[in-house]
Amino acid sequence: MSTQNMPEDEVELATDEQLGHILDMWRRRLRGRKLTNPEAQAIITNGGFYLPVMDEAADVLVDRVRSEISNTIVVYLNNIKRGQTVEQLLDATGRRQYTEKSSVATMPLVGNGGPLSGEFVWFKSDGGLSDAGVEEERVRRGLVRDLEMQLQYNAEHPEFADTHPNGDSWPADDKGNYNFVGLGRWGGGRGVVVGRGGGGGWGAGDWFGGRRK
């Protein structure tokens, strides 16, 4: 049995009904793989030969969901202010700004066509992420970049970045360089940085986000 990401506190265990729903999801996948009658019977009767594989698959699933639950924050935003410039969004945070004009000019915004409300999901990786890895992780979670929502949440909750330094990065050119925006507390003050990344990626304590589709 896997011991990774085990809950530290006593929690209520999954009900039989919940386990049944999960098993139904396994059933869907096995049918999709067109598991044959002889193959199914071999799994059932082979004296536990396939149990280690099944145990490993279950451990991967449980470890994954425990990791994502502990490293995810979901917030709901109303009255998202679309159509603002990057400068207006940065000014609204009330933070000291350290910005490069060339990077500010390329910040990708959703603009007036974006939704005016919705869920924004914050996530982080325990091992840190590369610049490209941020977008890969966001897509994997079914999220889309929405810097208006991200910056607006920071503006409305300035204390958030004190304990959850957050940001995002986007391609600067076709040579693998990235621009980035980062919000946090440094040297006793709250700040926001927009500039060209040095290629080192993001640390384990950094948070990112995206709008749920």
Distance CA 118, CA 194 (A): 25
- Residue 141 and residue 52 share a domain: no
What residue type is assigned to position 168 of the chain? D
| Mean pLDDT, rounded, for 97-106 | 97
- pLDDT beyond 50 at 82: yes
Is 59 a member of any domain? Answer: yes
Domain range for 42 is 21-70
**Same domain for 116 and 32?**
no
110, burial (CB in 10 Å: exposed 0-12, middle 13-18, buried 19+): middle
Q: Do 153 and 202 sit in the same domain of this protein?
A: yes
154 and 167 belong to one structural domain: yes
Final residue before a domain boundary, out of 70, 89, 105: 70
Picking from 63-72, 73-82, 120-129, which range would have the lowest pLDDT averaged per residue?
63-72
Helix (H, G, I), strand (E, B) or coil at 76: strand
Residues 115 and 207 in one domain: yes
The mean pLDDT of the chain is 91
Number of domain units in the chain:
2
Residue 84 and residue 143 in one domain: yes
> What's the whole-model pTM score?
0.74
2 domain-assigned: no
